Structures are given as C-alpha cells and as structure tokens.
C-alpha cells in the first residue's frame, strides 16, 4: 500500500536525517539544468497557446472571407449576425466545455496525455472547419477546436510549471503568453494573405494543422510530469519506491542532467510535501473550496477574472475605430491594424518575459494595472470630453495594450499555474481557466447592450473603476512567488 511504502521511506530517511539539510526552503539556485533540455518541455506545450492565439487572429480574417458572396466559395455565405457570432465564439463555447472536462480528466490523464488529447482535438477541429461542406459542420469544427483550447490552456501552464527549473519558471510560463501573441500575429498575417482568395477562409484555418501534429508528436516524446507521477503513487496508484525511480529519471531527462543525488533530493522534497495523511487521498470536489486551496482559488480565479473584466476584449474591439479617427492610413484595412497591435503586444510581452523573474510578479502587476487604469480613464475622457482629440485615444490605446501585456496578460497564466497545491492543482487550475473563459464571454457578449444603455465613455470609465478595484485585490491578496519552488509556495505562502 502507498501509506506503508511512505512509512518505510520515512524510516529510511530518518536514519540519515540528521546528516541532511531540510529540502523545503533550500536555495533554488542550486537546481542545475541544461538550457537546451529545458526548452523542449516548454516548447511543445506552448504550441497549444500558439494555436489558441492563431485561432483568434485567423478568425478575424476568416469571417470577412466567409461572408463574401464572391470569395467564400460556398452557397451558404449569407450568414446572419447570429451565425457570424457563432463562428467567432464557437471555439469559446468549446473552451468552456474543455475547462469543465479538464476538472474530471486532468488528474486521471496527467498533464502530458491531456496535452496529447488536446492536440488531437485541435487537429480534428481544424479538419472539420477547413473542409466543412455546410455551416453546421463548420460550427462543429469550431466547437471541437475550442474543447482543445480549454484542455491545452489548462494543461500547458501546469506541465511547464511542474517540469521547469524554479529559477526560470516565471520566464517560461510568461513566454507561453508570448506564444499566444505570436499565434495571433501569425493568424492576422495569414488572414491578410488569403483574404482576397476564393475559399480563403479554408486555408486560414487549415494552415494550423501542421502545428497540431508537431504539438502532439512532441508531447508524446516528452516524459510525464514527475510531480504528477509522485502524486498518483502517493494516492495508491502505484508503488512509491518504483515510481520514485521513474520520477528521478524523468526529472533528469527534463533537466538534461545525468542521474545523480541532486535529482533524488528534489524528488524527496516533493514526496515530503506529499507525505501528510491528507495528501494520500484523492481530492474531493468540496476540498477545492476549503483551506489553503480556497486561498489559492481566490488568488488565481480572482486574478484571471480581473484580467478579463477590466475590458481587454472591448478595448481591442475599438482599436480600428480609434486609429481611423487619428488618420492612420493603415487603419482603413482591419487586418493591417491588427498586425500593428499584434507587433506591439509581442514587444511588450517579450519585455515582461525578460524581467518577470528579476522584478517579480507583484511589481509588474501593480505597475501594469496602474497604467491600465490611466489608459481607461483617458479613453473615457476621449469619448465624453475630447472627441476631437484622437491623439489622446491613440495614446490611451497603445498604453492599454502595452500595460496589459506587461501585467495581466502573462502573469495571470503564470500565477494560476504555480499557486495551487499539487494535490489539487489539476482541479483548481481547471476552475481558474473556466473563470477566465466565462468572464471573457461575459465581457464580449455584454459589451454592446451596456454600451447602448450608458454610452461608450461611461462604459470605459466603469472598466477603469474595476481596474482600480483590481489594484486593491493585487495589493492585498497576490503573493510574491519569484524564485520559490512549487513546494515552497505551498509550504510558505499557502
């Protein structure tokens, strides 16, 4: 039994316990790794984020192509506004289902197999969408692709967090947001290339199929998360002593290091954190809303909620109008405007990736969200007081995009991947991802009726007030996790 094997390990450890320093709290800088080996466990999961971003970018061009009587290449091009909305949001609905599905299958499949499964759904969704003979099949393809998004955006940050060295964890998980932005930019570029071609929308969606295959093959090649293996063993799904050896081998492969005492000590640290009686039971649904997991859930779900309800989808919705009012010639072409903003998002996300492990999470969040507050108030003043001063709106738009990519964009996904305790990480993170997509849908679908009711200026002022509230939330609730191992976060902060 798992409990008996853990007790044997504790007895064996106690014989040399006085000669070994505590594992939890040890300086993480002693964790050695090969940079080359650390890249691949990040790269293949990050392709799931790239595909998510690509879908956003490609859909903006695909809807233009799909609705054209001369370029759609179909007899069902005359889509209603509701049908167009379903094309755009179909993947979002699928992502909500995928997030719910992750709650039940994440700990059974494991992070690696969940990502393999999501790559298969990505590929199937692409095929159904690109070769759709009618609107219903296309919508099914968008929905299946969205389920893949929900699973990938749940498993990718978790796999990266659990397999990368502590001292570069923040940089790599933030780099996943960089991949999302690269995917968006790639989708915008592909959309601009095929938007004037007959059936161009099929090519826009089909271009992502090779990435789906690369992601699936890459994840099949990578080892499972050592932390997930140990969690399963502790909960009675295998021999702890046998799984420990497997976990050490997986960890050494992920670090690009030969099997040695360092890897064994890291595995012992994880087992020590899992050695309490509560950790040896499978997590129940209600435990997620109790104790330290409830605190982690408030931190993670609250952060991704504010990430969306501070108006991120809505500000970008108005981007083309703002640039057109400012007289930018590129603004007459929606795809070129999107490329311009995509480049800005890419640059600012790159800056965040470079500094997140040096400055920390809290300084970037507090500074970036403060800039978001200023930009939203500027946008509100433009629509209520200074409609002839489009320069103000352009500055506000660029400030918003830049500050969002320095703060909420990368750090939201980073925090939810590292804040949950290991035993409840899969289910806790699935709830946080669900909150992310649900709040995104809330903002996206409620924007137009609220705007018609109160006006654009007041609406952006309301987003500004919410951003101020998010600053208080960050200041009082968000901990600093820079440089801490996942076990140290669980032991010291939670």
What's the average pLDDT block by block, 10 residues per block, for the chain (494 residues)?
48 42 42 71 90 88 83 83 80 88 80 93 96 92 94 88 80 82 87 85 93 95 87 73 82 77 76 61 67 85 90 68 59 58 85 86 94 92 81 85 89 85 80 86 76 85 94 92 79 65
Full-model pTM:
0.78
412 within 8 A of 304, measured Cβ to Cβ: yes
| Concatenated DSSP letters of 252-282 | HHHHT--S-HHHHHHHHHHHHHT-SGGGGSP
What the block records as the tokens of 142 is 């968008």
Instruction: Please tell me the distance from the alpha carbon of residue 274 to that of residue 240, in angstroms, as a whole number.
Output: 11
- pLDDT at site 28: 41
Distances 27 to 32, 60, 254, 258, 275 between C-alpha atoms, Å: 12, 47, 20, 21, 21
- For the chain, give every domain's residue range: 2-14+23-30+225-280, 31-224, 283-494
Burial 42-59 (b: 16+ CB within 10 A, else e): bbbbbbbbbbbbbbbbbb
Which is it for the CA torsion 208, 209, 211, 215, positive or negative? Answer: positive
CATH architecture of the domain 283-494 equals Up-down Bundle (1.20)
The SS3 call for residue 293 is helix
Which is it for the CA torsion 245, 247, 253, 255, positive or negative? Answer: negative
Same fold, 31-224 and 283-494: yes
What the block records as the tokens of 233 is 């063993």
Q: What is the dihedral of CA 227, 228, 233, 239, to 10 degrees?
A: -80
Residue 106 is classified by DSSP as H
Instruction: Specify the CATH class of 31-224 in words.
Output: mainly alpha
- pLDDT at site 73: 84
What the block records as the tokens of 163 is 């397999």
The SS3 call for residue 326 is coil
- pLDDT at site 494: 56
337 within 8 A of 331, measured Cβ to Cβ: yes
Closest CA to 371 of 280, 301, 443, 464: 464
Q: Compute the C-alpha angle 37/235/45, nearest 5°.
A: 30
Instruction: Please tell me the distance from the alpha carbon of residue 327 to that of residue 236, in angstroms, as a whole number.
Output: 66
Distances 491 to 269, 453, 484 between C-alpha atoms, Å: 11, 48, 10
Other beta carbons within 10 angstroms of residue 382's beta carbon come to: 25
């Amino acid at each position: 039994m798992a409990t008996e094997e853990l007790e044997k390990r504790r007895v064996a450890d106690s014989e040399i316990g006085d000669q070994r320093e505590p594992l939890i709290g040890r300086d993480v800088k002693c964790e050695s790794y090969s940079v080359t080996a650390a890249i691949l466990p990040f790269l293949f999961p990050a392709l799931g984020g790239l595909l998510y971003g690509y879908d956003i970018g490609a859909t903006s061009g695909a809807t233009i192509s799909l609705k054209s009587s001369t370029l759609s290449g179909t007899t069902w091009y005359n889509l209603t506004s509701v049908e167009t909305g379903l094309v755009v949001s179909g993947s979002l609905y699928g992502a909500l289902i995928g997030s719910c599905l992750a709650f039940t299958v994440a700990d059974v499949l494991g992070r690696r197999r969940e990502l393999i499964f999501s790559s298969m759904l990505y590929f199937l969704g692409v095929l159904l969408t690109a070769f759709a003979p009618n609107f219903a099949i296309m919508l099914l393809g968008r929905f299946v692709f969205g389920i893949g998004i929900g699973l990938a955006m749940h498993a990718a940050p978790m796999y990266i967090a659990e397999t990368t060295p502590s001292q570069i964890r923040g940089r790599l998980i933030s780099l996943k947001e960089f991949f999302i932005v690269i995917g968006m930019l790639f989708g915008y570029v592909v959309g601009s290339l095929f938007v004037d071609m007959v059936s161009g929308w099929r090519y826009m969606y089909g271009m992502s199929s090779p990435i789906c295959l690369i992601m699936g093959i890459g994840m099949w090649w990578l080892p499972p998360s050592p932390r997930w293996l140990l969690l399963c063993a502790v909960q009675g799904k295998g021999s702890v002593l046998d799984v420990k050896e497997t976990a050490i081998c997986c960890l050494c492969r992920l670090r690009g290091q030969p099997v040695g005492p360092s890897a064994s000590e890291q595995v012992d640290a994880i087992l020590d954190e899992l050695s309490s009686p509560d950790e040896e039971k499978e997590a129940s649904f209600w435990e997620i809303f109790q104790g330290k997991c409830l605190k982690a859930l408030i931190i993670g779900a609250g952060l991704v909620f504010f990430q969306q309800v501070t108006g991120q989808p809505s500000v970008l919705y108005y981007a083309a109008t703002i640039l057109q009012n400012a007289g930018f010639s590129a603004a007459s072409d929606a795809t070129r405007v999107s490329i311009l903003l995509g480049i800005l998002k890419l640059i600012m996300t790159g800056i965040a990736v470079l500094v997140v492990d040096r400055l920390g999470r809290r300084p970037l969040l507090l500074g970036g969200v403060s800039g978001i507050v200023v930009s939203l108030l500027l946008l509100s003043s433009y629509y209520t007081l200074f409609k002839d001063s489009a320069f103000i709106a352009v500055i506000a738009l660029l400030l918003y995009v830049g500050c969002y990519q320095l703060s909420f964009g990368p750090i939201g996904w980073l925090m939810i991947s590292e804040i949950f305790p290991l035993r409840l990480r899969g289910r806790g993170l699935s709830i946080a991802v669900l909150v992310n997509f649900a709040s995104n849908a809330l903002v996206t679908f409620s924007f137009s009726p609220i705007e018609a009711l109160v006006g654009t200026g007041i609406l952006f002022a309301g987003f500004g007030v919410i951003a101020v509230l998010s600053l208080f939330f960050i200041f009082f609730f968000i901990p600093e996790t820079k440089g801490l191992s996942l076990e140290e976060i669980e032991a010291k902060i939670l």
